[in-house]
Amino acid sequence: MSDPNPKFNLTIVGLGLIGGSIGLDLSNSPLIGYRTGVDKNQNHQQIALQRGIVDKISNLDSSIENADIVLLALPVNIMAETIEQVLNLANSTCVVIDTGSTKSSICKHLSDHPKRNQFVATHPLAGTENSGPQAAMARMFEKKVTIICEKEKSSSLAIEVANTIFEALGMKIIFMDPEEHDIHVAYVSHLSHVSSFLLGQTVLDIEKDKKNIFNLAGSGFASTVRLAKSSPEMWVPIFEQNAVYLNQALSEYIIHLQKFQNQLINRNVDGLNKILNEANKIRKVLEGITP
């Protein structure tokens, strides 16, 4: 009797925070057979094996041969070319899923690939300020959202496999087109990172006595600046690929800061109150209550 629920052999390309956390979550999944990891960094390979993120390490080419699912978690500047390479090697039933934080340029690069329908363009929205397989966390994706782009360009089998994986991670799935994705994440995700990176840089630049930063960080600074610890290797390519929309978002942010500054200079208490009361509405929005 053949197994009614055959297991998928999974290859994870990139054993950092995202790839590593996915590997941890799928370690005991009844869906998954063998987990193979690919990473150029030997230290990452070792940690991934030690932490049970994958069952074995291989190189890209040979890891694709017997893979049913290839999941890529790489910086976005090398994502599109690597997906192309994986699709070229993949057998006809293999499903390829990326996790890149930008989607337009990746989708554009792959739009005419003969195996485009085996690929699912996704962005699971989860993470921390830490990086590498040492930062991987079980259940990091739980109750978070993953975005699938250009659903219509993926085969129904590929979408079904992607759904199964993201459901196993505990995620909710929503659909967007790539440009729409890039606009929204520019505002909600990428701008948050910019505001935090630059808050960190500004305070480091101005506060000559660093001991003061340490002493005063309990006042909200530590959490607002948390994302400034994020990896430049991951984030510079994201900012570069999403430069057009991020630039728009950043211009809006600067304009809002300058309007606040004007009210501050004029000691306009009513104006300041109005801005802070507007900002307060974020509480309900984050609770899922639409104003």
Looking at residues 137 to 166 of the shown chain, list those that interact with its own copies (rule: CB under 8 A): 144-145
Task: Using the minimum distance from each CB to its own copies, give the nearer residue, 50 or 215.
Answer: 215
> How far is CA 179 from each of CA 28, 119, 152, 186, 209, rounded to the nearest angstrom?
36, 18, 15, 11, 44
- Distance, CA of 216 to CA of 213 (rounded, Å): 5
108 binding its own copies? (CB under 8 A): no
Chosen residue from 54, 125, 167, 169 binding its own copies by CB under 8 A: 125
Q: φ, ψ for residue 34 (rounded to 5)?
A: -95, 135
* Minimum distance of its own copies from residue 157's CB (angstroms): 26
Q: Which two tokens stand for residue 134?
A: 């040492």
Scanning residues 200 to 219, which ones bind its own copies (CB under 8 A)? 200-207, 210-219
From residue 269, alpha-carbon distances to 16, 258, 265, 281, 283 in Å are 47, 16, 10, 19, 22
Nearer of residues 103 and 116 to its own copies, judged by Cβ: 103
Min dist. Cβ of residue 287 to its own copies (A): 8
Binding-site size, its own copies (CB under 8 A): 90
Angle between the 191-206 and 232-241 helix axes, to the nearest 10 degrees? 120
Looking only at the bridges linking them, the beta strands covering 145-149 and 119-124 are antiparallel
CB of 161 to its own copies, least distance (A): 23
- Identify which range of 42-50, 91-99, 110-118, 281-289 contacts its own copies by CB under 8 A: 281-289
CB of 238 to its own copies, least distance (A): 10
Tell me the C-alpha distance between 177 and 7, whole Å: 31
Q: How far is the CB of 237 from its own copies (least distance, A)?
A: 8
Which CB sits closer to its own copies, 137 or 243?
243
Least distance to its own copies, CB of residue 180, Å: 9
**Cα 148 to Cα 154: distance, rounded to the nearest angstrom:** 10
* Residues in 216-255 that interact with its own copies by CB under 8 A: 216-230, 232, 235-236, 239-240, 243, 246-247, 249-254
**C-beta of residue 149 within 8 angstroms of C-beta of residue 124:** no
